[in-house]
């Protein structure tokens, strides 16, 4: 059950984890001449991290309280975790200077936990009262500070191939739409704090975004020769007729997309005039001339 396309790309069965999906509504309708045509298939190469070293953050995570088990485990395992979280939060939101953070029972739900902030001289308030952007940043940083505190530079696995006997594991942070509810300046500081938390640690971050601010942050990162420049990979995705195509750019190459393509989110020349960014850049060029 290995698609011919994978063999053509040199992906070896023994060096990857294989996943098959057969839910009809999620599978492209191929000709279905052979059995494999009924499946969506993808392969994962490399070593999978332990489940407790994987952090998934998406839109639903923003609005839901934390699991009680996660909070209890973090408090038990990590010294001064809430203090670390407060320091990270202050670097993203300078107005939160000297803020105290707590994770406690969510209002009306003792089985779930939520964040609380207490500014000097004030009673604590649930993070929800500070707006969606602050809540987003709080929850990202709560999870990431907990993950980063468990992983050290010495945890680098010896082999990149699947090997369940190796007790050293990467951390993995899957982050959907970092720009959710975020002011551009605070988004930049949140991304910067995220990079600082994982630098020098074997934590891999996967980000999906349609935000130019997020892309611009990484362009700036590589042009300033950040130490992670050579580790950065950007994929420009296009799904058409059941095939997901990915254009890869590595390191400093991502800046060239802006210079030679313009808005890298636009898939074809026909879409370019529909991009609001195209309109603004066109107006700017007209005024300059």
* Per-residue pLDDT reduced to its tens digit, 44-93: 877 778 888 899 999 888 889 999 999 999 999 999 999 999 999 999 99
pLDDT over 80 at 265, yes or no: no
State the Cα–Cα distance between residues 263 and 276, nearest whole angstrom: 10
Neighbours of 80 (CB within 10 A): 11
pLDDT over 80 at 176, yes or no: yes
Write the DSSP symbol of residue 263.
S
Q: What is the dihedral of CA 257, 263, 264, 268, to 10 degrees?
A: -120
- Please report the domains of the chain, with CATH numbers, ordered by start residue: 1-45 (no CATH), 48-208 (3.40.50.300), 210-289 (no CATH)
Q: How far is CA 284 from CA 105, 174, 210, in A?
A: 51, 36, 22
As a whole-number percent, the residues of the chain with pLDDT over 90 amount to 41
Name the phi and psi angles at 235, rounded to 5: -115, 125
Averaged over 255-267, what is the pLDDT?
74
Q: How far is CA 180 from CA 184, 223, 234, in A?
A: 10, 25, 20
Nearest alpha-carbon partner for 41 in 278, 270, 244, 275: 244
pTM of the model: 0.83
pLDDT the model gives residue 84: 95
pLDDT band at 100 (very low <50, low <70, confident <90, very high): very high
Report the DSSP beta bridge partners of residue 112: 67
Q: Please report where in the chains the tokens 């989110």 appear, as a residue.
A: 265
* Per-residue pLDDT reduced to its tens digit, 193-232: 999 999 888 899 999 998 989 988 998 888 888 888 888 8
């Amino acid at each position: 059950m290995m698609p011919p396309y994978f063999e053509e790309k040199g992906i070896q069965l023994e060096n990857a984890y294989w996943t098959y999906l057969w839910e009809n509504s999620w599978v492209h309708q191929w000709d279905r001449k052979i059995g494999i045509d009924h499946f969506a298939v993808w392969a994962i190469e490399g070593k999978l991290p332990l489940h407790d070293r994987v952090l998934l953050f998406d839109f639903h995570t923003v609005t839901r309280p934390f699991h009680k088990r996660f909070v209890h485990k973090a408090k038990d395992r990590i010294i001064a975790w809430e203090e670390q979280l407060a320091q990270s939060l202050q670097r993203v939101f300078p107005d939160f200077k000297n803020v105290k953070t707590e994770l406690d029972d969510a209002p009306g739900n003792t089985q779930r936990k939520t964040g609380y902030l207490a500014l000097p001289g004030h009673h604590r308030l649930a993070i929800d009262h500070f707006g969606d952007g602050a809540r987003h940043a709080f929850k990202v940083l709560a999870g990431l500070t907990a993950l980063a505190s468990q992983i050290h530079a010495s945890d680098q696995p010896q082999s990149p191939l699947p090997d369940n006997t190796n007790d050293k594991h990467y951390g993995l942070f899957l982050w959907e739409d970092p720009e959710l509810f975020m002011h551009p300046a605070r988004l930049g500081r949140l991304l910067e704090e995220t990079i600082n938390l994982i630098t020098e640690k074997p934590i891999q971050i996967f980000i999906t975004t349609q935000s130019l601010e997020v892309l611009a942050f990484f362009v700036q990162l590589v042009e300033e020769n950040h130490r992670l420049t050579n580790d950065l990979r950007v994929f420009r995705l296009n799904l058409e007729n059941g095939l997901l195509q990915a254009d890869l750019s590595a390191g400093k190459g991502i800046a060239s997309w802006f210079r030679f393509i313009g808005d890298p989110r636009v898939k074809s020349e026909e879409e370019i005039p529909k991009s609001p960014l195209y309109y603004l850049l066109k107006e700017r060029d007209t005024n300059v001339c």
